[in-house]
Each structure stands twice: as C-alpha cells, then as structure tokens.
C-alpha cells in the first residue's frame, strides 16, 4: 500500500472503543527501511504509535489494541528523532554511478509490518504532469539519507 494513503486515517482503540486521532505523519527508520511509528494528532496534541502496536490497517481506519499504544512524543524520544516520510519525499535520488534519477515521490509499504517494499522515483515533466516514474525495489536502495537517496540500478539507456 502507498504510505501516503495512511495520512489522515483515524486510529481506533479496539479495547476502549475510542478514536485516538488521525495520522499526521509517518516516522521512518532509514536503517531498517520501515515505518517505525505513526504520529497521531488529536486536539492539538501529537502522540506516537509504534508501528508494531498496529493491529490492522483497514480501508477506513487503523486499529490498535488499546489507548496505551499511543504515547507522548517526549516519552518516545528515539522514535520522535526519526525522519518523517514527508521529509524524505522529494529528496533527490541518485544512482551509485552518479546519475540523478529524479525525486522520491512515494513509498510502498507492507501494511502487515511497515517494511518498505519499493520506492517510486519521478523524473521530468512540468508541474507534476508528464515525465516518467521508476519503481525501485527496496533491495536496490543503498542509502536513505537526510539529503539524498542512493540507489543501485542498471545504467539508464543512452539516447541515440
């Protein structure tokens, strides 16, 4: 599923019958290449839900066992320090040969465990229209850094 589809989804507690808020942001662990937590906001307060606390991701909502799954961001300091998905999107993507391949525009995740399956890289076009999109399996992502995404893919074909 597209990671961006999680934004705005309500997070519901199964045991308590309560709405914890809506997903405002996704915290990404670049080393493990997975969504580590959901930043859930309600009434001006943001709490973090570690992804391993997610019971299910449905069409209309995300469920967790109880309200205990959501904790203040200050109590989850390591998770709060991770980069957000929105900070990673639009990063330049460069292959290991030094060729810029475009910008990171989307991340496909496995909803059962939050692991990134593939990334989408868009190049060219004007104002988001046209251009081409390259889908790169996560196995070809060498690094997901704060400034660049480095990928290992076959060289781009030369124009004739």
Count CB neighbours of 38 within 10 A. Answer: 31
Assess if CATH 2.40.50.140 describes domain 3-85: no
pLDDT at 154 (0 to 100):
67
Strand, coil or helix: 115: strand
Residues of the chain with CATH 2.30.30.240: 3-85, 86-151
pTM of the model: 0.87
CATH class (in words) of the domain with range 86-151: mainly beta
Q: State the Cα–Cα distance between residues 40 and 53, nearest whole angstrom.
A: 13
Q: Is 59 exposed, middle or buried (0-12, 13-18, 19+ CB in 10 A)?
A: exposed
User: Per residue of the chain (160 residues), what is the pLDDT tens digit?
Assistant: 999 999 999 999 999 999 999 999 999 999 999 999 999 999 889 999 999 999 999 999 999 999 999 987 666 778 889 999 999 998 999 999 999 999 999 999 999 999 999 999 998 877 667 788 999 999 999 999 999 999 998 665 665 5
Q: What is the pLDDT of residue 2?
A: 96
Question: Distance between CA 59 and CA 5 in Å, rounded?
Answer: 10
């Amino acid at each position: 599923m597209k990671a961006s589809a999680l934004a705005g989804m309500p997070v519901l507690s199964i045991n308590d019958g309560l709405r914890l808020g809506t997903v405002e942001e996704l915290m990404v662990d670049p080393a493990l290449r997975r969504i580590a937590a959901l930043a859930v906001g309600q009434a001006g307060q943001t709490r973090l839900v570690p992804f391993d606390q997610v019971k299910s991701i449905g069409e209309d909502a995300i469920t967790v066992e109880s309200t205990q799954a959501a904790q203040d961001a200050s109590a989850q300091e390591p998770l709060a320090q991770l980069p957000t998905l929105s900070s990673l999107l639009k990063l330049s993507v460069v292959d290991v040969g030094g060729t810029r391949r475009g910008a990171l525009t989307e991340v496909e995740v496995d909803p059962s465990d939050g692991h990134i399956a593939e990334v989408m890289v868009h190049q060219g076009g004007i104002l988001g229209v046209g251009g081409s999109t390259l889908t790169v399996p996560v196995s070809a992502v060498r690094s997901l850094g704060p400034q660049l995404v480095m990928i290992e893919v076959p060289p781009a074909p030369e124009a004739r």
